[in-house]
Amino acid sequence: MKLKTLMLGACSMLAIAGTAQAQSTTLTIATVNNGDMIRMQSLTEDFTTKNPDIQLNWVTLEENVLRERVTTDVATKGGQYDVMTIGNYEVPIWAKQGWLLPLDNLGADYDVDDLLPSIRSGLEMDGKLYAAPFYGESAMLMYRTDLFEKAGITMPEDPTWEFIADAARKITDRDANLSGICLRGKAGWGENMAFLTALNNSFGGRWFDENWKPQFDQPEWKESLQFYVNLMKDAGPSGASSNGFNENLTLFQQGQCGMWMDATVAASFVADPKNSTVADKVGYAMFPSKEGVDNHGNWLWSWNLAIPAGSTKADAAQKFISWATSKGYTELVASKESWAAVPPGTRTSLYENAEYKKEPFAEPTFKAIQAANITKPTVKPVPYIGGQWVSIPEFQSLGTTVGQLFSAALAGQTSVDDALAQAQQVSTREMTRGGYIK
Amino acid sequence: MARTASTGQKIAWTVVAWVIALVIFFPILYTIITSFKTEPEAIAGISLIPSGTFQNYIDVETQRDYFRPFMNSVIISLGSTVLALIVAIPAAWSMAFSPTRRTKDILMWMLSTKMMPAVAVLVPIYLLFRDWGLLDSRIGLTLMLTLINLPIVVWMLYTYFREIPGEILEASRMDGASLWNEIVYVLTPMAVPGIASTLLLNIILAWNESFWTIRLTTTNAAPLTAFIASFSSPQGLFWAKLSAASTMAIAPILIMGWFSQRQLVRGLTFGAVK
């Protein structure tokens, strides 16, 4: 009798536990360790209070590890993640592979038309949204207003590379450890090649012609790469070939750069008086273009939330994505922290907000994002989409290989001509191997 | 005849040893120093004097849960080491005391599995783990680390066992000891220094293994390696926090290594002088 009672009790406990588990859904969210993402994690109580049946588990990883990790999982349908943070480089490739679920149930008040058209267009396939942007960025020019004033130079709103090169050489003061310009030099498809691809776009060049033939043997690449190497030699910091975003950010914050061209998200860091010694002396302008070429590089990046096809919790995942990328979330961040802390570059309404417009970087960021068009990155026709990257799976490895060649040219280990010849050879081989060149 | 070194020579050798030790230890020391700096200080350049802030440790603790990955690291590294020893002791015994013509080949083959880059088998392993429901589980990770470190464990034990005279085992057999008794009561006690150093080294290897521990886990089984990886960032200043996270992750193994250094050194130099 006692045993029977015990068994019955145990069964009821199990049943209760089972029901409780069935009611509660746990979402596993993979994300990068960026300031905006960390802030989101600290604010999720707002979401879980509104959705008590959904629990959140966070997996935060370094960008490259995360990319490799989620690619493995999504390609093998491992089902380890319910929401993934991916770039706009991955979205079209993964959507085409059938690796992502369409976001068709984001709620009535989501206002999908409020998403910035340039960002949204990179996340759609056949009219369906496959990822929702969490924050977006383009590239712009950040410069030291005090140094420009001292040198008697006025920065135009829409500068040309010729102007930038002159100004950089004038400002450079090697004795004072001041470089006229800081640009990325560290090898990597997301490091120096992001900048150099945008630079080459603004010179009228392209990665591939309409038949996927690499274009490193064309005059635009020669001109843009030579321009970059010469400029960095005359006005760049020492050891520039190992500088990426973080290194240049530090140099700029410490007052060792006259100008810096990089992602718009940098603006909130250089304007932060807690970490930057030049916070009140920073001006912003458009990413330069070459005289006679109407192109500002078309740099466009967004970190987006997407649901892998292997997830069995798509409904709950869509609820979370809707919350994290909504107008309500931006208001939540503004109320808990400040308007400067709101994730930028995804919604038109943010740039119409009078409070947000007071931030000095809001308007230049908006202009830079609006000017970017990843479907037509350069003046000549191309068979790919992508501004500072090319939307083919081979680009990560090819971009990094070419990045290493160009980084070596910057370091003076090889000539510009040799680097371009090798880049042409390597990319022709890879594109032939990949079946792009018949 | 033993050579006697002069006091001057002794001092010189001591200085050399200290310099080498400092060079080897410097990255860890600098990580610890950086963890007590503010973010702008951390990235400003080489400086050995931190401002002494504890803010990074507070931030790391509030941002992420330390206890769960710590427990996962303990369970996975201890579990995989014990499992590896259970398999490796009989294997090394048989190879050391009953070698065949192919023993050397088997040993080389076992070691050759370590020569392949791990990423080459990532997808097959991932698929197996997915199908067996082992992704993000401590059992899966324990098995994986056991298999990864097994060749090294077998090799180390084999080397130690070879130093033990076979005659002693023969004597125990003549006294009527069974195979089990021979391994447990005769061989193992004699090889304790070797087994201890193998155990310690294997724990350290398992604790620090980052390729599989990051790739086969998400949240439930993620150990301290995943905890550190979560503080690396492509955009922004996180060096001081990353250093604090690293210090917290290596502290347990560093302390364990410190207390067991006598056994480690004894085991690693076991049989070096005949």
Q: What is the pLDDT of residues B85-112, one digit of tens each?
A: 999 999 998 999 888 999 999 999 988 8
Give the one of B39, B215, B229 whose C-beta lies nearest to A62's C-beta.
Answer: B229
Task: Evaluate whether residue B52 is within a structural domain.
Answer: no
If one compares A409 and B186, the residue with the highest pLDDT of the two is: A409
pTM for the predicted model, two decimal places: 0.80
pLDDT digits (tens, 9 = 90+) for B14-29: 999 999 999 999 999 9
Residue A38 sits at the chain B interface (C-beta within 8 Å):
yes
Contact residues for A66 (Cβ-Cβ < 8 A; gap 6+): A30, A31, A32, A85
Residue B126 sits at the chain A interface (C-beta within 8 Å):
yes
Task: Evaluate whether residue B27 is within a structural domain.
Answer: no
Look at residue B261 in the predicted model and tell me its pLDDT: 81
Q: Is A62 close to B222, i.e. CB distance below 8 A?
A: no
Give B229's contacts in chain A (Cβ within 8 Å).
Answer: 61-62, 65
Task: Evaluate whether residue B242 is within a structural domain.
Answer: yes
Mean pLDDT is highest, among A332-341, B141-150, B237-246, for: B141-150
Task: Evaluate whether residue B8 is within a structural domain.
Answer: no
**Which domains are present in chain A?**
25-130+301-357 (3.40.190.10), 139-299+373-433 (3.40.190.10)
Give the one of A60, A72, A253 whose C-beta lies nearest to B123's C-beta.
Answer: A72
Task: Evaluate whether residue B12 is within a structural domain.
Answer: no
* Direct distance between the N- and C-terminal alpha carbons of chain B, in angstroms, rounded to an integer: 15
Look at residue A271 in the predicted model and tell me its pLDDT: 85
Task: Tell me the residues of chain B between 204 and 243 that have a Cβ less than 8 Å away from chain A.
Answer: 214-215, 218-219, 222, 226, 229-238
Look at residue A20 in the predicted model and tell me its pLDDT: 44
Look at residue B115 in the predicted model and tell me its pLDDT: 86
Domain that includes residue B83, residue range:
61-268
DSSP-based three-state secondary structure for A27: strand
Contact residues for A20 (Cβ-Cβ < 8 A; gap 6+): none
Look at residue B270 in the predicted model and tell me its pLDDT: 61
Q: In Å, how far from its chain's centre is CA A304?
A: 10
Look at residue A319 in the predicted model and tell me its pLDDT: 95
* Direct distance between the N- and C-terminal alpha carbons of chain A, in angstroms, rounded to an integer: 80
Task: Tell me the residues of chain B between 35 and 74 that have a Cβ less than 8 Å away from chain A.
Answer: 39-40, 43-44, 63-64
Q: pLDDT (tens digit, 0 to 9) for every residue of chain A, 438 residues total?
A: 455 555 555 555 544 444 444 468 999 999 987 778 888 988 999 999 999 999 999 998 877 788 888 888 888 888 899 999 999 999 999 999 999 999 999 998 899 999 999 899 889 999 999 999 999 999 999 999 999 999 999 999 889 999 999 999 999 999 999 999 999 999 989 889 999 999 999 999 999 999 999 999 999 999 999 999 999 999 999 989 988 888 898 899 989 999 999 999 888 888 888 878 999 999 999 999 998 898 999 999 999 999 999 889 999 999 999 999 999 999 999 999 888 889 999 999 999 999 999 888 899 999 999 889 888 999 999 999 899 999 998 998 899 999 999 999 999 999 999 999 999 999 999 999 999 998
Residue B11 has pLDDT above 70, yes or no: yes
User: DSSP secondary-structure letter at A417?
Assistant: H
Angstroms from B210 CA to nearest CA on chain A: 11
Q: Is B135 close to A78, i.e. CB distance below 8 A?
A: yes
Angstroms from A275 CA to nearest CA on chain B: 6
> What is the CB neighbour count within 10 angstroms for residue B113?
12
Residue A69 sits at the chain B interface (C-beta within 8 Å):
yes
Angstroms from A33 CA to nearest CA on chain B: 5
Q: Do the beta carbons of residue B116 and residue B151 sit within 8 Å?
A: no
If one counts the domains in chain B, the total is 1
Q: Is A61 close to B136, i.e. CB distance below 8 A?
A: no
Residue B67's domain is classified under what CATH number? 1.10.3720.10
ipTM: 0.74
List Cα–Cα distances, A375 to A85, A118, A263, in angstroms.
22, 9, 19
Task: Evaluate whether residue B35 is within a structural domain.
Answer: no
Residue B273 has pLDDT above 90, yes or no: no
DSSP-based three-state secondary structure for A391: coil
Distance CA B222, CA B69 (A): 6
Contact residues for B24 (Cβ-Cβ < 8 A; gap 6+): none
Distance CA B246, CA B240 (A): 10
If one compares A161 and B236, the residue with the highest pLDDT of the two is: A161
Q: What's the whole-number mean pLDDT along residues B72-83?
A: 96
User: Identity (one letter) of the amino acid at A315?
Assistant: D
Task: Tell me the residues of chain A between 79 and 108 that have a Cβ less than 8 Å away from chain B.
Answer: 79-81
Sort strands A124-125 and A128-129 into parallel, antiparallel or unpaired: antiparallel
Residue B274 has pLDDT above 50, yes or no: no
Both structure tokens of B18:
């200290």
Task: Evaluate whether residue B36 is within a structural domain.
Answer: no
Task: Evaluate whether residue B90 is within a structural domain.
Answer: yes
Distance CA A115, CA A125 (A): 15
Look at residue A23 in the predicted model and tell me its pLDDT: 66
Q: Is A57 close to B123, i.e. CB distance below 8 A?
A: no
